Structure 1
Amino acid sequence: MCGIVGYVGHRDALPLLLNSLERVTYRGYDSFGVALLNGQGIEVYKSVGTVEECRAQVPPLQGTLAIGHTRWSTVGKVSVDNAHPHLDCSGEVAIVHNGDIDNFSYLRQRLQDQGHSFRSETDSEVIAHLIEAYSNGDIVDAVSRAMRELEGSFAIAVLHRPSRQIVAARRESPLVIGLGKGEAFIASDIPAILPYTNQVAFLEDGDLALVSEEGLRVWHDGREASRQVHQVSWSAEQMSKGGYDHFMLKEIYEQPQAIRDTVADYTEQSRGGPSLGCFLPVTDPDVVLLLGCGTSYHAALLGEQLLSRLLPGPVVARVASEFQAGSLRSDRGLAIAFSQSGETTDTITALRHVKSAGFSSLAVTNVMESSITRAVDATLYTRAGPEVAVASTKTFISQLVALYVLAYQLAPDRQAVEMIPRNLRALPGKVRQLLANVETIQQVARVLAEAPYMFVIAKGLDVPVALEGALKFKEVAYLHTEGYPAGELKHGPFALLQEETPVLAIVPADQHRARMLTTIREIKTRGSRVIAIAAQDDEEVAEFADSVLRIPKIDPLMSPVLNTVMVQLLSYYCALERGCPIDRPRNLAKSVTVP
């Protein structure tokens, strides 16, 4: 969940390093640091805070070989000493690390007994001293031997003064190498290096790499290996705010294009319907298991609701961090794992358990060549483009679109899903229509911003949307919000309803509508304030709710997409009213690569 960058080449490295670190700030932003190699040796600067906040204080360090890091603390408090890079005792090795070293206490004690002196509380510093302990003039060999002793996950970049080289290695944490003319780049994520190159190679689990001006050499299990170079289709311009106040708002407004691109990627032009035949490892599963964490778990929950209506066998969603296979076993089962980054450790771990139970597996992710794609039988890529804000918006919407494509492909009853292609093609226009009228949403958000807490309620397909909406209010607006199935209010939450307590009620245009209106009436008898989200032609709901937010008319099966956009906008404008750091919520990071 930390961000790593590195550079070797002919440019002045410091400005490049700082620019790259700013581009991976979403991976962690409680402290940062850089190490540059020059005639004075390895020079290090570290600071608490973000690069953006502290850039003016960074001294003009010189060098063309450098590594940098932005931290999200897991071991050791937020402090300059605990910030990366970390040095060995001699000052000849500097390292940056993303991950968790499980056996660091044992290694630290052993190294201290050998005379090594530690400056930080972190698990990461043991890596620098372990490499020093194995130093024999060959930095690649020293890093390789250190890797064999490390238990846990890591992505590391090692700057070595004597050889003037940078070595990178990874295990269960992502690392990408960018290649240019006479220069090379190291990063946790593609966005960090996108302004400088679109030619990238993805290191695989267990890889060790020597990164130099000449290019890239890779070893795996002691043998030299090659890694394919990919051309990234994203542009550097996509990584800018483009005139918007926040990345989150920009990414909300990019959702029509994200939907269009994801649909287009899986559309059979001859009949206009989505086609996934060449992607699905099993087309008639007897059981479907959906896995995810956070927002991706909410996509899995919606998948459970949707596919349960269409498939004859059981469909079950599980939060990946709590998943245990137990007695679960099926040779015709299909596990579908959702991960925006493709690097979510808990989801990848759950996949291993599922595969050992005989399931075929499919990943739904936004990042090509990510770790999850190597853990599954097939991958369905969403086409959301880069997402910078910590709170996921367009990647979640793209996951929902992918679910409808999957539903169309898997459903044995073609008549039950015949409306999906038509509605998928209409979705971008419907979302644009919603985004063009935000004045009422802004007014409602101003009211919500004054509340100490609130509820989001729904029924059926919209229950996952209520949970996702509650998460968004917590994430970006710091407003304690509970998402509930409407029928569960009497089982406890009613005790918290007071006069003026805001309740956001998603009113569907399906068989659940009458029950939702009854629930709204019951809430109003407690004096609470009800804001309804309803179809534009639902006039009756205005008789019961204090405010009504309208979504364009669409088939009820697809309305969760539009309802999601509505709660995204509400949470954004509520956060704006409350003065929250919308793109970088406290204590959170976008890519959760540690358990």
Structure 2
Amino acid sequence: MCGIVAYIGPREAYPVILKGLKRLEYRGYDSAGVALLNSGLKVYKKKGKVADLEESIVGKDLHANIGIGHTRWATHGEPNDRNAHPHLSNGGRLAMIHNGIIENYAALKQELLKNGYHFQSDTDTEVLLNFIEYIQVNNNCSLEEAVRIALKRVVGAYVIVLIDQENPDTLIAARKGSPLVIGIGKNEHFLASDASPIIEYTKEVVYVNDYEVAIIKPDELILKNLGNERQTPYITKLDMELAAIEKGGYDHFMLKEIFEQPQTIYDCLRGRLDADLGTITMSGIEKYKEQIMNANRIVMVACGTSWHAGLVAEYIFEELCRINVEVEYASEFRYRNPVINKGDVIIAISQSGETADTLVAIENAKKQGAIILGVVNVVGSSISRVSDAGAYTHAGPEIGVASTKAFTAQLAVLTMIALKIAHDRGSIDKERYHRLLHELNDVPDKVKATLEQHEHIKAIAEKYKDSTDSLFLGRGYNFPVALEGALKLKEISYIHAEGYPAAEMKHGPIALVDEKLPVVFVATRDSYHEKVVSNMQEIRARKGRIISVINEGDEQSTALSNDVIVVPEADEILAPMISVIPLQLLSYYVGVARGFDVDKPRNLAKSVTVE
């Protein structure tokens, strides 16, 4: 959600910033802009894509060795040129870009209006920028000090980066709640919302912490807290490769990431799971293993696709570990004053590790004595640093806005944690434990076999691409898969889709069923299979169009279905990692058939860093 890029050093800043903004397009945005400083501060910004900005400034003076760039996802003020970032201060001396939301901007704006300030945009960002300028002018202080004073008054989330026309060798940046990473080169520094714009130039980075201000010169990086105390930058080496953020011959990142899943699940299991020895090694969990084993309850907090992964994990943990599990929307959990007891285990699930609601939820729970475990993909992300322990999914960069490989990697990690705790707790018999380890080891190959049906699934997508509504139904472990399938279709194709437990279909949604309605059943063989077949018959009796995801030899489901997709059989605990694959492909091919940009669906952002 929004993207920040900045550069200072000997290179031409504009090409670095422009390429970086293109790398951040996956985050979701509606306008773009740059500010460059060279014998004057020049700001160029445009509604639309980065390509529109690039085209609009052909022939302009773009020479500079310092600059800032931004892709904006609209919050305050509609998407247009004047609300795009960067913004200029009233005095024209400062330019700023900002991710996040300033919640008390209206009060600050009234204060500034009384002091003669005027505004060119509807944004909270311009208010904060002018507030900083007002403090700098009235206190006759440095920009660094003005930023620190201003941020003590600010309520909300932010990453800000400022250029000062009178100090052309310095960038000032600060962070609270939104991500900021600084790449360290030879006499140069790169700033970005994540590492993807930086990896081409350096692998040494510093992740800025909340309430830190960075003073960045070509050959110097200083970090301070809001109390003006120096902080020691912790340099991390990136393990990301440039090839991982390129399409690699695929038409879209989403398709590439769907097809990467045999490898990403394998990478997640590698070094942790040894089926032959019957061991699961997870050093990030070991320290708190006893607390997890003895916990009265586990609460999983997440948003979107990660919440669906949590729902699957709820079934797994309760069945294998016999521990009470609750799954909460982070956006609700953070506000509803939940009962949290010391020793409760909170598992935060997030692809980016920066999801604002999830981050605040676990910070609040940690203050109340809960143990926080993070299941995230991005190394060094905020959730990983706030957590007491946890496990990385090792899925690699996920560029497509609609999450695919992160979901299956999250399920792989959560399944391993549950199996480890169940084994050590003695709540699973040895025979089933060893069988599940071997079956989990086989999941990458079963996913690969499922992907080989992509042309068949593409043909099914062509048949249903003009539908206006759809239902996704499943029971037990496949119910969250149905929810995920519906979410994917909504995100990518803009077709209204709802996921339900198959039995609940009779309590309302069945009223929608007619000969035009596609109903997708996730109907792999499990303990609920006969009941699901009965639900299919209810849909068939009302002339609904049935698409079913089934196992080989399921003649009952085949006879009731208009279209079937056959997936390899697996234990019901592991089946979701396989049965979700056809739903990802179906959504992808429907979106493409409808002519949409499936990597960047409208109004959506990859990393949701605001409420």
| TM-score of the two chains, using structure 1 as the length reference | 0.97
Structure 2 partner of 1:311: 321
Given that residues 404 and 420 in structure 1 are in contact (C-alpha distance below 8 angstroms), is that contact kept between their aligned partners in structure 2?
no
Q: 1:587 & 1:269 partners in 2: Cα distance?
A: 43
1:283 corresponds to which residue? 292
Deviation at 1:17, TM superposition (A): 0.6
**1:32 has 2:41 as partner:** no
Q: Which residue of 1 aligns with 2:389?
A: 378
Give the AA of the match of 1:79: N
Change (3 A) 1:120 1:553: same
Q: Which amino acid aligns with 2:48?
A: G
Q: Secondary structure at the match of 1:153?
A: strand
Farther off after superposition, 498-507 or 537-546:
537-546
In the alignment, the residues of structure 2 paired with residue 489 and residue 302 of structure 1 have an alpha-carbon distance, to the nearest angstrom, of 20
Counterpart of 2:201 in structure 1 is: 196
Cα-to-partner distance string for 1:8-34 (whole Å, 9 max, x where unaligned): 001111111110001111223200100
- Give the Cα–Cα distance (whole angstroms) in 2 for the partners of residues 212 and 529 of structure 1: 63
1:219-234 alignment, distance < 5 Å:
219-220=224-225, 221-234=227-240
- Please give the secondary structure, in 1, of the residue aligned with 2:378: coil
Contact 1:325 1:354 in 2 (8 A): no
- Count of matched residue positions in the alignment of Structure 1 and Structure 2: 594
Are 2:374 and 1:363 aligned? yes
Percent identity, please: 40
461, 471, 476: which one aligns with 1:460: 476
CA distance in 1, matches of 2:278, 2:122: 58
What is the CA deviation profile of residues 51-100 of structure 1, one whole-angstrom value per residue up to 9, with x for unaligned ones?
Answer: 13442222341101000100000011111110000111221111000000
User: Aligned match of 1:431 in 431, 447, 458?
Assistant: 447
Task: Please say if residues 275 and 437 of structure 2, whose CA atoms lie closer than 8 Å, have aligned partners that are also in contact.
Answer: no
Give the equivalent residue in structure 2 for 1:320.
Answer: 330
After superposition, residues 19-58 of structure 1 pair within 5 angstroms as: 19-39=19-39, 41-58=40-57
- Of 81-90 and 346-355, deviating more is 346-355
Aligned runs of 1:165-244 on 2, under 5 Å? 165-220=170-225, 221-244=227-250
Q: Which moved more, 1:534-543 or 1:398-407?
A: 534-543
Aligned to 2:17: 17
CA displacement at 1:147 relative to structure 2: 1.3
| Aligned position for 2:356 | 345
Partners of 2:337 and 2:108 lie apart in 1 by 34
Partner of 1:109: 110
Question: The residue matched to 2:118 in structure 1 has which SS?
Answer: coil
User: Following superposition of structure 1 onto structure 2, how do residues 79-94 of structure 1 map, counting pairs within 5 Å?
Assistant: 79-94=80-95
Letter in 2 for 1:240: E
Matching residue's letter, 1:318: E
Range moving further from structure 2, 334-343 or 141-150: 141-150
Deviations 1:131-156 (A, max 9, x none): 21122352211211121121111000
How many Å separate the matches in 2 of 1:60 and 1:430?
55
Q: Is the 8 A contact 2:533 2:556 kept in 1?
A: no
- How far off is 1:394 after superposition? 0.6
Deviation at 1:311, TM superposition (A): 2.5
Report the equivalent of 2:119.
118
- Inter-partner Cα distance in structure 2 for 1:96 and 1:385: 28
Compute the displacement of 1:541 (Å).
Answer: 1.9
Q: SS where residue 503 of structure 1 aligns? A: strand
Q: Secondary structure at the match of 1:134?
A: helix
Write the distance in 1 (CA, Å) between the matches of 2:464 and 2:89. 52
**Alignment partners' CA distance in 2, 1:514 and 1:544:** 13
Write the distance in 1 (CA, Å) between the matches of 2:275 and 2:555: 38
Q: Any idea what the Cα deviations from partners look like across 1:83-118, whole Å, max 9, x if unmatched?
A: 000111221111000000011111111112112221
Residue in 2 that maps onto 1:77: 78
| 1:447 and 2:446 aligned | no
- 1:268 Cα deviation after fit: 5.4
The partner residue of 1:535 within 535, 540, 551 is 551
- Is it true that 1:387 corresponds to 2:388 in the alignment? no
Asked if 1:262 is matched to 2:268, the reply is: yes
What is the letter of the counterpart of residue 214 of structure 1? D
Q: 1:571 aligns with which of 587, 592, 597?
A: 587
In the superposition, relative to structure 1, how do residues 67 and 278 fare at CA in structure 2: closer, same or farther (>3 Å)? Answer: closer
- RMSD in angstroms over aligned alpha carbons? 1.5
Counterpart residue identity of residue 313, structure 1:
I
What pairs with 1:331-342 in structure 2 (closer than 5 Å)? 331-342=342-353
User: TM-score if structure 2 supplies the norm length?
Assistant: 0.95
Once residues 11 and 24 of structure 1 are traced to their aligned partners in structure 2, the CA distance between those partners, rounded to angstroms, is 20
**Mean alpha-carbon deviation: is it higher for 532-541 or for 171-180?**
532-541
SS across alignment from 1:482: strand
CA deviation after TM superposition for structure 1 residue 326, in Å: 4.2
Q: What is residue 161 of structure 2 aligned with on the other side?
A: 157
Look up the equivalent residue of 2:443 and give its one-letter code: L
Structure 2: how far apart are the matches of 1:190 and 1:12?
A: 20
1:7 match: 7
Q: Is the 8 A contact 1:365 1:381 kept in 2?
A: yes
| CA spacing shift, 1:589–1:333, aligned 2, 3 Å | same
Question: Structure 1 counterpart of 2:143, which letter?
Answer: I
What's 1:294 paired with? 304
Structure 2 counterpart of 1:145 = 149
| Alignment-mate amino acid for residue 569 of structure 1 | L
Cα distance in structure 1, aligned partners of 2:276 and 2:538: 51
Shift of 1:270: 8.2
**One-letter amino acid of the structure 1 residue matched with residue 200 of structure 2:** P
SS at match of 1:571: helix
Q: Distance between the aligned counterparts of 1:342 and 1:263, measured in 2?
A: 20
Q: Is the 8 A contact 2:275 2:438 kept in 1?
A: no
The answer to whether the 8 A contact 1:199-1:230 is kept is: yes
- CA shift, 1:387, in A, is 0.7
Alpha-carbon offset, residue 279 of structure 1: 2.1
Alignment-derived partner of residue 520 in structure 2: 504
Quick check: 1:95–1:127 contact (8 Å CA) kept in 2?
A: no
Provide the C-alpha distance between the structure 2 equivalents of 1:262 and 1:65, rounded to a whole number of angstroms.
Answer: 40
Paired letter, 2:243 = E
* 1:34 aligned counterpart, secondary structure: strand
Aligned partner of 2:492 among 476, 495, 513? 476
Amino acid at match of 1:150: V
Gaps of 5+ in 2: none
CA–CA distance in structure 2, aligned partners of residues 579 and 345 of structure 1:
32
Deviation at 1:428, TM superposition (A): 1.2
Is 1:249 aligned to 2:255, yes or no?
Answer: yes
What SS class does the counterpart of residue 566 from structure 2 fall into? strand
Distance 1:74 1:44 in 2: 21
Deviations 1:423-454 (A, max 9, x none): 22211111111112212111111122121111
Cα deviation digits, residues 362-382 of structure 1 (max 9, x gap): 011011121112322112111
Q: Is the 8 A contact 1:466 1:484 kept in 2?
A: yes
3-state DSSP class of the match of 1:418? helix
Q: Which residue of 572, 591, 595 maps to 2:607? A: 591
Secondary structure (helix, strand or coil) at the match of 1:163 reads coil
Aligned partners of 1:147, 1:381: CA distance in 2, in Å? 32
Give 2:563's aligned residue. 547
